Structure 1
Amino acid sequence: MKVDATWNAWPVVGAAVLALTVWWWLRSRARAPFFPGPKGLPVVGNIFNLPKPGKEEWIAYAKMGNELGTDIVHLNVLGSHLVVVNSAKAANDLFEKRSLKLDWILGFLPYGQKWRNYRKAFHEHFNPTTVHQYKPLEVKSAHQLLFSILTAPESFMDSIRHMAGHTIISIAYGIDVKPANDPYVLTAEKTLHSVALAASQGGHLDMMPWLADMPWWVPGAGFKKVADECHHYGVEMLEAPFAAAKAAVAAGKAAPSVATSRISQLDANSSASDRTMAKILPGNVYLGYPYGVIQTVSAIQTFFLAMVLHPEAQKRAQAEIDSVVGTDRLPDFDDEDSLPYVKALVKEVLRWHPVVPLAIPHRLEVDDVYDGHLIPGGSVVLGNAWAMLHDKSVFPEPSRFLPEHFLKDSDLFPDFAFGFGRRACPGRYMAWHSVWIAVVSVLAAYDISPAVDEHGQEVSPSEDYRSGIVSYPERFPCRIKPRTKTAEDLIIATQNIVS
């Protein structure tokens, strides 16, 4: 008797499907559950729950966690996983204690021996001891900022960017940049803008890797066009200043710098990796993983915004400076420990609006279970620094600008403003010095107040910030005037100009 093979196969197929379903159900029951997250849709998951780019995503993620009653939020995006960490404890556990399981999706190098070599090299130039050698240059840059503001107070935000660029490029390459429109600064500005934009647009690439094969005009793949621009500017930034430093060394006219130090160590027997290190290390000094200069720029711009909105903090800081430093000179680094309120004010600037509010995304290499919940391998993990620095159990009234947050405990520091774990900003000590000397110098020399309209009424600026991997305050107007004629004379004297 002939048997219909097709017909008899159906029970076998059905049994296999049933067995597979039961196996998957048992496996999923045996695994730890995901962290809470918003309810998603079939197939696309939580793609419509993601904050809109450019809309202060860090606040949206913090609100999402509060509504769900969890410090860690899990989102499923087209079958991939995004985990947002909103608490300091969880960030410490995941980014510090378990960092061997994490790899950065936006870092310049993956974790490994090469990364360790670069980190060690960075530490040689920017550890807490060696950064003191850069203080005279940071003072010079702060004084240049004071003079630039005096000549063009309406362009103070541009002056801040130029001051930071001057400091970092001088330290990295020994190049004394022009007072305005310096080509090295302009190229670096374009590079930083492209890096920030590409990272903010392409940050979810690991969750949706198929976007890498799509043309740039496909929705969601626009970051590829920006990435091309980033590459172009990045090559220009890396090559041009290094060539200038190398020529200066050859001519015996090089100023001390990271590039000068590395180039001087090269000889005919130097390896290819040493030569690569000599070129890439000073370039990364500016980009700073990606802090560096952008940490300084954003923090000082935030300081000006805070002084416009909170004149009482400005007056108290100025009173402390007048009492300790006097009015016949400008402050210097020797005054730092004698100005506790100013130090607390600078810490509050870093806390109030952190420069990198969502830090840099991590990618989990293997499955991990934390606090009884599963974080699947391949998940993109975001550390919400903004949420941690606005934890009201640590910082009462966190939305207010209150230097008092750091006065009771002088050892308290807004660490998360500089990143997490072994990938924390390697230039954070120098960044602190640059921000502190700029802030104390401006406070000693200028009064900062709201702008006025055509009717003489004060105009209060908004607190809007540009989103992306790096957050800057939107441009805002304000009035900046020398506090006294003596202060104006001190500013002019820093440039060896007779008034």
Structure 2
Amino acid sequence: MVPAFSSSTWHSILLIGITSFVLNLWIKLNKNKNLPLPPGPKGYPVIGNMYGLPHRYPWLAYAEWKEKYGPVSSFTVLGKTTIILNSLQAAKDLLDNRSSNFSSRPRMVMADELLGWEWDFAHMPYNERWRKHRKMFFQYFQPKYISVFSPFQRKMAITLLDQFSASPADFIAHIRQYVGSVVLHAAYGHEVKSDNDFYIRSVQRAIEPLIHAIHATGSFLVEFMPALKHVPAWIPGASFKRHVETDSQKVRDLRDIPFKGVKASMADGSARRSFVSDNLDKTTPVSKEDEEVVRNCAAITAALITAWVLAMAHYPEIQKRAQEEIDQITGGSKLPGHDDIDTLPYLQAVLLETLRWHSVAPLALPHQALSEDEYNGHRIPAGATITVNAWAIFHDEEIYPDPFRFNPERFLHDGKISFDRQPDPTFAGGFGFGRRICPGRHLAMQSVRMVVSSILATYNISKALGADGVPIEPLIKATDGVVSHPEPFMAKITPRSKVSIQLIEDAKMDLFF
């Protein structure tokens, strides 16, 4: 039976209830305010760590911070906090398990607002616009669909084998042409004819400025004082504005020119099947918003394949074992096909180890904390930038013993791929974390498997020889930047046998019949 309270008593109870709710909410929202930030280098009043941050190969400096400050560290510049995650556990705890709070992107003034990369959905904040872009991209490039690209991947792999025969010293350019061909064909139906292709050069021109804009730490003051983006280019100290005036046009060209080319070819009936043409060729009219999504999503890198070549030059015994596995499947009488890949566990382990051994994206793209959070007794402010050090994860001796050694065996058990002992690098930082994991990873790995298996079936990779006949030791060193390539190196690429040469010739003939 409900007690018969007076009106004033009910008002008091209601007031107490509201007060209790507000108090609990205030406590919940402010419980982290007194917690310290993760440890990090000591800064100065107001400006924080504006000076002294690493500008070159920052992942190496951040890895050293792990030894000094622990797996999670931080720095602050003009009130803007960046959290560095140097461990796989921290990255999974935050970016995977708390993905609803850590799936956005921080404001990137230089990259997005000045250079103009805001159209790339990899840069977009976590909102409905991003979800629409990602959904369209993932539906087209999901594993069960990408087999449609296999015939073209095979065609371009055969072209690369032929190029290796004609000019093996230019193997890096040939690899870039292969990768560019696959991506541009899948996106726009464009077939690259040479490494000097207009679209390939457009990609290179647009990407170069971006490499220096992401993870720029203190390189660009405009990141911490966005109002500076409005200053005239002639003002002393505003050299960044003079650069973006030309660089931003390169970014717009990368997005717009191939897209307009597809629309023109669709109009005259000459368009090849591609991501753009398939998504624009609808029975219902395409809205301007949908057209933007298609254009933006359409816009892999050769770094992984180049790193694999470097590894094969250094580890001939691993190359030989991978070749023996392929020969057992093909009998040495054909090139491996798409359906053969799943029967080549050692080859798959070699590529997984390449992804770990050479961090293609050592820091990847940063995440952002949407709201205040706490991790292991430390405060993560709302709006903080979250940077994962994939290089530190892949070189963590506790999860990848002897990390600087190229060892595919770490992903094999009883002759099968296994991640019981050491984690899959695909999900340990190779392609990002959480809801922002790269949706193009399936196409990327399929393209890599196709061309690498074809090269192993027909060629030997070894160290180049100097004029004195002495092998030249290829340097194992990575370039700086968002995407890290091996530093240019020389390698000797020779046909395995006369049978190998004939395999390539036969494969070329098959392309015409």
Among 342, 348, 351, the alignment partner of 1:346 is 351
Among 36, 39, 58, the alignment partner of 2:39 is 36
Among 152, 177, 180, the alignment partner of 1:137 is 152
Report deviation, 1:249: 1.6
Instruction: Say if 2:425 is the partner of 1:410.
Output: no
User: Residue in 2 aligned with 1:300?
Assistant: 305
Instruction: Say if 2:287 is the partner of 1:271.
Output: yes
Instruction: Say if 2:272 is the partner of 1:255.
Output: yes
User: Residue in 1 aligned with 2:49?
Assistant: 46
Distance (Å, rounded) in 1 between the aligned partners of 2:496 and 2:93: 48
Distance (Å, rounded) in 2 between the aligned partners of 1:193 and 1:174: 24
Structure 1 pair 323–393 and aligned structure 2 pair: CA distance change class (3 A):
same
Report deviation, 1:220: 8.5
Answer yes or no: is the 8 Å Cα contact 1:141–1:167 preserved in 2. Answer: yes
Report deviation, 1:193: 2.3
Among 175, 186, 207, the alignment partner of 1:160 is 175
Among 164, 170, 181, the alignment partner of 1:149 is 164
Q: Percent identity between the aligned chains?
A: 37
Structure 1 pair 77–225 and aligned structure 2 pair: CA distance change class (3 A):
same
Report deviation, 1:162: 0.8
Among 427, 450, 461, the alignment partner of 2:440 is 427
Structure 1 pair 327–30 and aligned structure 2 pair: CA distance change class (3 A):
closer
Instruction: Say if 2:58 is the partner of 1:57.
Output: yes
Q: Name which of structure 1's ranges 30-39 and 397-406 shifts more when overlaid on structure 2.
A: 30-39
Report deviation, 1:129: 0.8
Answer yes or no: is the 8 Å Cα contact 2:412–2:418 preserved in 1. Answer: no
Structure 1 pair 175–391 and aligned structure 2 pair: CA distance change class (3 A):
same
- Offset from partner CA, 1:232-270 (integer Å, 9 cap, x none): 112222222222211222222221111111221165x43
Structure 1 pair 275–28 and aligned structure 2 pair: CA distance change class (3 A):
closer
Distance (Å, rounded) in 2 between the aligned partners of 1:249 and 1:350: 38
Report deviation, 1:131: 1.1
SS at match of 1:467: coil
Structure 1 pair 447–211 and aligned structure 2 pair: CA distance change class (3 A):
farther
Instruction: Say if 2:392 is the partner of 1:387.
Output: yes
Answer yes or no: is the 8 Å Cα contact 1:80–1:208 preserved in 2. Answer: no
Report deviation, 1:194: 2.9
Q: How does 1:32-431 map to 2 (within 5 A)?
A: 32-53=35-56, 56-68=57-69, 70-102=70-102, 103-105=104-106, 107-201=122-216, 206-209=223-226, 211-213=228-230, 223-265=240-282, 269-283=285-299, 293-294=300-301, 297-408=302-413, 410-412=417-419, 413-414=424-425, 415=427, 416-431=429-444
Answer yes or no: is the 8 Å Cα contact 2:132–2:293 preserved in 1. Answer: no
Structure 1 pair 274–39 and aligned structure 2 pair: CA distance change class (3 A):
closer
Answer yes or no: is the 8 Å Cα contact 1:201–1:223 preserved in 2. Answer: no
Distance (Å, rounded) in 2 between the aligned partners of 1:357 and 1:29: 30
Instruction: In structure 2, give the amino acid aligned to 1:96.
Output: D
TM-score by length of 1: 0.85
Distance (Å, rounded) in 1 between the aligned partners of 2:291 and 2:228: 35
Answer yes or no: is the 8 Å Cα contact 1:198–1:230 preserved in 2. Answer: no
Structure 1 pair 72–241 and aligned structure 2 pair: CA distance change class (3 A):
same
- Offset from partner CA, 1:375-398 (integer Å, 9 cap, x none): 122322101111112222221101
Instruction: In structure 1, give the amino acid aligned to 2:312.
Output: M
Structure 1 pair 429–95 and aligned structure 2 pair: CA distance change class (3 A):
same
Structure 1 pair 133–32 and aligned structure 2 pair: CA distance change class (3 A):
same
Instruction: In structure 2, give the amino acid aligned to 1:236.
Output: D
Answer yes or no: is the 8 Å Cα contact 1:207–1:379 preserved in 2. Answer: no
Answer yes or no: is the 8 Å Cα contact 2:35–2:379 preserved in 1. Answer: yes
Structure 1 pair 276–46 and aligned structure 2 pair: CA distance change class (3 A):
closer
Structure 1 pair 396–211 and aligned structure 2 pair: CA distance change class (3 A):
farther
Structure 1 pair 30–281 and aligned structure 2 pair: CA distance change class (3 A):
closer
Answer yes or no: is the 8 Å Cα contact 1:195–1:230 preserved in 2. Answer: no
Answer yes or no: is the 8 Å Cα contact 1:194–1:229 preserved in 2. Answer: no
Distance (Å, rounded) in 1 between the aligned partners of 2:209 and 2:398: 37
Structure 1 pair 80–275 and aligned structure 2 pair: CA distance change class (3 A):
closer
Report deviation, 1:281: 2.6
Question: What count of residue pairs does the alignment treat as equivalent?
Answer: 457
Distance (Å, rounded) in 2 between the aligned partners of 1:222 and 1:378: 28
SS at match of 1:39: coil
Report deviation, 1:154: 1.0
Report deviation, 1:212: 3.2
Report deviation, 1:211: 4.8
TM-score by length of 2: 0.83
SS at match of 1:355: coil
Distance (Å, rounded) in 2 between the aligned partners of 1:152 and 1:77: 50
Instruction: In structure 2, give the amino acid aligned to 1:419.
Output: G
Q: Name which of structure 1's ranges 228-237 and 440-449 shifts more when overlaid on structure 2.
A: 228-237
Distance (Å, rounded) in 1 between the aligned partners of 2:329 and 2:455: 16
Answer yes or no: is the 8 Å Cα contact 1:392–1:398 preserved in 2. Answer: yes
Report deviation, 1:208: 4.6
Q: Which runs of 5+ in 2 are unaligned?
A: 1-29, 109-121
Report deviation, 1:210: 5.2
Distance (Å, rounded) in 2 between the aligned partners of 1:487 and 1:218: 62
Answer yes or no: is the 8 Å Cα contact 1:80–1:207 preserved in 2. Answer: yes
